[in-house]
Chain A
Amino acid sequence: MTKAVVTVMLKSGVLDPQGKAIGQALTGLGFEGVGEVRVGKRIEIELAETDPDAAKAAAEEMGRKLLANMVIESFRVEIAQGTDY
């Protein structure tokens, strides 16, 4: 079995108020040196496809069609096989 891990992040330049709030909370907790915080999503998808390249291509198609809104987000696909995740 193959697992595709899709990481979706807001594009740089798109305001991330959640990240901002988390950053402020971390600073408020006394953590020093906290810079910009960005929040994204990690989506793990089990795939029957065993060829890593084909699995990656399929997951990238999923990213473009549904998982990310390309107007505001970008995404990255990593492929893990067996228990390698």
Chain B
Amino acid sequence: MRAAIVVFPGINRERDMAIALELATGHKPRMVWHKETMLDGIDLVVLPGGFSHGDYLRCGAMAAQSPIMPAIRAHADRGGHVLGVCNGFQILTEAGLLPGALLRNAGLRFLSQDCHLRVERADTDFARHYQSGQIFRAPLAHGDGNYFADDDTLDRLEGEGLIAFRYATPEGEIIPEANFNGSARNIAGIYAPNLRVLGLMPHPEDLVDPLMGGTDGKPLFDGLAAALTVAA
């Protein structure tokens, strides 16, 4: 799997992401500056977390207009895989590659804590190393992670099986108490209709080594590496 991490000014999780990808693939991902315009020979494009352009105007709004975006859009259009985490998820919604938007957390506080996620389906290239219904832990670090979409869009996402992960209790209950940022229907991550574009707010890349306090996020990267290495 050949992975590229897009580096926007103001992001800060690109090195965490590189560690997770290198652990899974054995190769260092390519770091692509946002002013580049080519993504040739890449299987997976990753938009990492951080605060691109200082979160000015809206989180991800400026980055969604970057020179690299047409190449990311073209990659997605030809069925390439895209992963957006945290600010990366915000950028994907701002760019229209995923529906909805990420609003200010309902409680207004920046959240820096762990959450638990329920895997809504495991038959995707991102989740294949998890079990459907499995609960795993992931760190949260965001001020604007409150997923919003109109009811029609939410119904469509649910009807078409495009919810990737929901905020859950450690025991797997989908209840408001587990939904720290107030997201609609406890949604933590969603897929594009072809299941090859995933955006999520929590940070699986920050739990990929026992030294980080756990490996709950590692199956996501191992699964991607397995899926995209076979395909290549």
Contact = CB atoms under 8 A, between A and B. Distances in A.
Do the two chains bind? yes
Interface of A: 14-15, 17-18, 21, 41, 65-67, 69, 71-72
A15 B146 contact: yes
Given A15-B146, A18-B108, A71 B65 contact: no
Contacts of A41: 57
Contacts of A65: 65
A67 B61 CA distance: 8
Contacts of A17: 103-108, 182
Query: Residue among A15, A18, A21 with the most chain B CB within 10 A?
Result: A15
Contacts of B93: 71
A15 B182 contact: yes
Contact of B94 (A14, A15, A69): A69
Interface string B189-231: 0000000000000000000000000000000000000000000
A65 B99 CA distance: 16
B101 A69 contact: yes
A82 to B, nearest CB: 28
A71 B100 contact: yes
A65 to B, nearest CB: 8
A67 B100 contact: no
Interface string B113-150: 00000000000000000000000000000000010110
B58 interface: yes
26 contacts: A14-B148, A15-B106, A15-B146, A15-B182, A17-B104, A17-B105, A17-B106, A17-B107, A17-B108, A17-B182, A18-B108, A21-B108, A41-B57, A65-B65, A66-B57, A66-B65, A67-B57, A69-B58, A69-B94, A69-B101, A71-B99, A71-B100, A71-B101, A71-B148, A71-B149, A72-B148
A72 B90 CA distance: 13
A5 B169 CA distance: 46
A72 B147 CA distance: 11
B95 to A, nearest CB: 11
Query: Residue among A14, A17, A21, A67 with the most chain B CB within 10 A?
Result: A17
